[in-house]
Amino acid sequence: MEQVFNGLQLGMILFLMAVGVTLTFGVMNLINLAHGAILMVGAFFIAFTTSTIPSFGLAVLAALFLVFTLAWLVEVLLVKHLYSKSHLDQVLATFGLSIVLNDGVIMIWGREPLYVNLPSWLEGAVQITPGFSYPLYRLAITGVAILAGLALWLLLTKSRLGMQIRGGAEKREMIGALGVNINFLFTSVFALSAILAALGGIMLGPMISVQSGMGDPLLILSLAVVVIGGVGSLKGALYAAILVGLVDTLGRMLWPVMFGDIVGNIVSNSAIYILMAVVIAIRPSGLFGRRISV
């Protein structure tokens, strides 16, 4: 039962990352391999701010602000040049960015993993049903992720910027036709995706050890989510994220029981990719994706 919650939680974090990926690709045709590194930077920032700012709430805000600044810098210095380039160029440039960030945090903070201390009002467990209690912080994260999802939904459905983003994600040709301020739109989408990823990192910070490269497995998982859900589809990102989160977490309990220790371990790590391969084989553009024309 606890694992179901954990699975949902993983799903929510993956959702935050997957939305960023699907939006940047859908709207701007941009592949961003540095997304995982941004999550990691988010975690490092919160570790940094909580060690210097006594109030946890303020620390979170400060970390978000730092991320926003970084995202803005990255967009202006690097990403801006990538919109018109080929996928290969984008892959390489963002790959370069991710290794710069991964090594950069080592340069600043060293190789030892950092730990984030939770304030006392977030510690402890909550009784859900008699006999089953769940860590408060994990519940809080799920809550935050749901809130973020709702806020995102509101932004996308109720605001003008949101409409432009959605239109662009579905049919890129529309953006030009609508006479939208492209620069502002693109920068906004990139900043949004970075903040979502970093939010994931900020929330993960207190739960796992913060170190270089921690975001990369999540990046790859979120890519699997996007592929399964279909690029450009936000609904797909949500459903696929929850599916992936559950399958991964519950699977890790299940496979070693079914297949024994060694094989079970391998299957636990690969299960999502096997799922992805199956989905691709049946529906090459993902569960909810639009047909990618060749």
Partner 1 sequence: MNNLVENLPFMKSKRLAFSLVAILILALMVPLFNQPYYTKLIARVCVFAIAAVSLDLIVGFAGMVSLGHAAFFGIGVYCAGILAQFGITSIGLVVPIALVVALVIGGVIGSISLRTSGLYFIFITLAFSQMIFFVAQGLRMFGGDDGFRLPGPTIWFDGISLSQPRVLAYTMIVTLLMVIFVTSRLMSSNFGQVIVASRDNPRKIRSLGIRPYPYQLLLFMISASICALGGVGFANLNEYVSPASISWVQSGEFLFMVILGSAGTIIGPVLGAAAFVCLEQLLSSWTDYWMFYLGIILMLRVIFLKSGLLGLLTRRSQ
Binding site for partner 1 (CB under 8 A): 25, 31, 33, 78, 81-82, 85, 87-89, 91-93, 95-100, 102-104, 106-107, 216, 220, 223-224, 226-227, 231, 262-263, 265-266, 269-270, 273-274, 276-277, 280-281, 284-286, 292, 294
State the helix-helix crossing angle for 35-52 and 56-74, rounded to 10 degrees: 140
Q: How far apart are CA 123 and CA 3, in angstroms?
A: 19
Nearer to partner 1 by Cβ, of 164 and 285: the residue is 285
Nearer to partner 1 by Cβ, of 156 and 272: the residue is 272
CA nearest to 78, candidates 168, 212, 186: 186
Helix, coil or strand: residue 216:
helix
Could you give phi then psi for residue 289, rounded to 5 degrees?
-80, 155
Residue 249 CB, shortest distance to partner 1, in Å, is 16
Helix, coil or strand: residue 132:
strand
Residue 5 CB, shortest distance to partner 1, in Å, is 25
Residue 123 CB, shortest distance to partner 1, in Å, is 33
Residue 128 parent element (H or E) = strand 125-129
Task: Tell me the Cα Rg of the chain.
Answer: 19
Q: Are strands 125-129 and 132-135 parallel, antiparallel or unpaired?
A: antiparallel
CA nearest to 14, candidates 140, 281, 200, 278: 200
Helix, coil or strand: residue 214:
coil
Q: How far apart are CA 27 and CA 164, in angstroms?
A: 9
Residue 117 CB, shortest distance to partner 1, in Å, is 28
Nearer to partner 1 by Cβ, of 102 and 193: the residue is 102
Nearer to partner 1 by Cβ, of 176 and 284: the residue is 284
Nearer to partner 1 by Cβ, of 89 and 123: the residue is 89
Residue 126 parent element (H or E) = strand 125-129
Q: Name the residue type at position 141.
A: I
Q: Name the residue type at position 255.
A: W
Residue 55 CB, shortest distance to partner 1, in Å, is 33
Nearer to partner 1 by Cβ, of 177 and 294: the residue is 294
Residue 99 CB, shortest distance to partner 1, in Å, is 4
Nearer to partner 1 by Cβ, of 14 and 203: the residue is 14
Structure-token match 């995202």, residue found: 71
Residue 145 CB, shortest distance to partner 1, in Å, is 23
Q: How far apart are CA 284 and CA 294, in angstroms?
A: 12
Residue 127 CB, shortest distance to partner 1, in Å, is 37
Nearer to partner 1 by Cβ, of 78 and 122: the residue is 78
